[in-house]
Amino acid sequence: MSTLKKPFKHNELTFQVMVDAAPNALILVNQEGKIAYVNSYVEKLFQYDRSEVIGQKIEVLIPTRYKGRHTEHLQGFFNNPEARMMGVGRELFALKKDKTEFPVEIGLNPIITVDGNLVLTSIIDITERKKAEERFRLVVESAPSAMILADKKGIIRLVNTQTEKLFKYRREEILGQKIEILIPDEIRGSHPKYRKEFSKNPEVRSMGAGRDLYAVDRDNNRFPVEIGLNPMDTSDGHMVLASIIDITARKKAEEASKNYTKKLEHKNKELEQFTFIASHDLQEPLKSISSLTDILTEDYFDKFDEEGQNSLSFLTESTERMRELITALLDYSRLGQKSQLEEIDCNELIEKIKIDLASSIEETNANIKIAPLPVIWGYKTELRLLFQNLISNAIKFRKKDSDPSITISVQKLDEAWQFKIEDNGIGMDMKFADKIFTIFQQLNPKDKYPGTGIGLSHCKKIMELHDGDIWVNSQLDQGSIFYFTINTNPQKS
């Protein structure tokens, strides 16, 4: 016997040392509800010396308000002894020697001995966990979007005020419900499947990428949403924190912008159609008129009296003007259609224009001063037309009594080049500063300054193509200064 007893003694001692040193509070309670044993962690947690509690009713460690029913619960346990957690679903509190309470989690284990049945109570102080949960709850509560915490089974465990507002449920109505009550009928059925897939592979992601998501509120109103999912490991198991944003306004804006784009595309098609009409349908009868007036002029001119002859030459003139206008309109609508951005040396560009305009420069004795110009990104054909229009305007609208003098210079602004074309011509009243850029608008009589009135509207459209701006500063009889800006960074244009 003694040979057998010795190792047993040793085991008993080891067991006692282990229990005493366990980092959990362990209490043995007997059937009378008295404390039979506490380990040293209990002393630390409850601030009692073990001599003070051993032999006492376990209720000394319980806040007064729970004492009443505790004896009953304890007897219930002894009647049906099995290992379990105490008070599932309820919040448990324990009482320290100084009467302060703290939240606990309690595990119960029946121990059957020859001296009678005992219950081993293991107590975990969950103060820190509760604090963390409270912090988490506050963060969720203060989030600007609706947030819902649901468990693995899809039961809603936590919601914030934004959720109440968005879904029109009161908190108590929605807690404990399945998350599916917030999902429209047609998806409700397949949602549990999605939920399971998520819990198999939990990761932070947005829900239903590429699909339009909808939610329903208490009044069964559907609204489009964007949902972010965050898997969370909590003391209550795996959960999902969903943050839900109502995107009704954004959807509407997107819809409006889509419609607007569609309308614009339609308008653009119409414009293209218009170009076609102008180029073909209008030109056709015009050519006939032109040919017929030619015939009348060549074969019958002498047979007309003076008024008839005037009518005929006016007819020719009107036809020619109509042709010019149609061509100008066509050019206008075609601007920038087939162009590509490229690097342009403005100095070279101006030299070429000077060659094109050589005869009118010579004829008018125009003096053109050109400051060193930059290399810029732009549409070459269009920019050439822009410079050419501005220079030939400066020559065309010269004063009778002085030779045209034109200065072209440039200034570097923050993100753009600002070009300046200054002349000493007839200038203009600034009240027409906008009108001159409008198609077919002219300030001066056609017989003195022939033209269609399209040049500057070309310039304006060209600047629009370059995301730049064009404007004028002038005074009647004091010359004009035309400015235009063009981005130094082509990515911005």
Partner 1 sequence: MKKISGLDCIILVDDDKITNFINKKIIKRADIDVAVKVNSSVTEALNYLKGMNTHPINEYPRPGIIFLDINMPGMNGWDFIDEYKKLPNEQKKKIIIAMLTTSINPDDENIANLTPEINMYLQKPLTVEKLENTIDSYFPIA
Among residues 35 and 329, whose Cβ is nearest to partner 1? 329
Tokens at residue 244, please? Answer: 């839900």
Which helix or strand (DSSP H or E) is residue 434 part of?
none
The CA distances from residue 148 to 176, 226, 292, in Å, are 12, 13, 82
Which CB sits closer to partner 1, 76 or 308?
308
Min dist. Cβ of residue 314 to partner 1 (A): 4
CB-wise, 91 or 317, nearer to partner 1?
317
User: Which structure tokens are listed for 484?
Assistant: 């235009």
Residue 328 beta carbon to partner 1: minimum distance, rounded to whole angstroms: 16
Nearest CA to 25 among 113, 95, 112?
95
- What does the DSSP 8-state code read for residue 478? S
CB of 291 to partner 1, least distance (A): 20
Q: Closer to partner 1 at the Cβ: 121 or 480?
A: 480
Closest approach of partner 1 to the CB of residue 260, in Å = 24
Cα–Cα dist 278/334, whole Å: 12
- Closest distance between partner 1 and the C-beta of residue 444, in Å? 5
- Report the interface residues with partner 1, using CB under 8 A: 307, 310-311, 314, 317-318, 432, 441-447, 453
Largest CA distance in the chain: 157
Residue closer to partner 1, measured from CB, 124 or 278: 278
Q: Rounded to 10 degrees, what is the CA torsion of 443, 449, 452, 456?
A: -60
Least CB distance from residue 443 to partner 1, whole Å?
5
Choose between 117 and 310: whose C-beta lies nearer to partner 1.
Answer: 310
* Contact between 198 and 240 (Cβ < 8 Å): yes
Copy the structure tokens of residue 319.
Answer: 């036809």
| DSSP H or E stretch at residue 156 | strand 156-159
Question: Can you tell me whether residue 311 is helix, strand or coil?
Answer: helix
Nearest CA-CA partner of 15 in 87, 136, 114, 120: 120
CB atoms within 10 A of CB 327: 15
Distance of CA 279 to the CA centre of its chain: 44
- Residue 433 has phi, psi (to 5 degrees) of -60, -30
CB of residue 454 vs partner 1: minimum separation in angstroms?
A: 13
Terminal Cα distance for the chain, rounded: 100
Nearer to partner 1 by Cβ, of 230 and 438: the residue is 438
Q: In whole angstroms, how close is the CB of 445 to partner 1 at the nearest point?
A: 6
Q: What is d(CA 133, CA 127) in angstroms, rounded to the nearest whole number?
A: 10
User: Nearer Cβ to partner 1, position 214 or 432?
Assistant: 432
Residue for token digits 């490229």?
342
Residue 316 CB, shortest distance to partner 1, in Å, is 11
Pick the closer one to partner 1 by CB: 50 or 399: 399
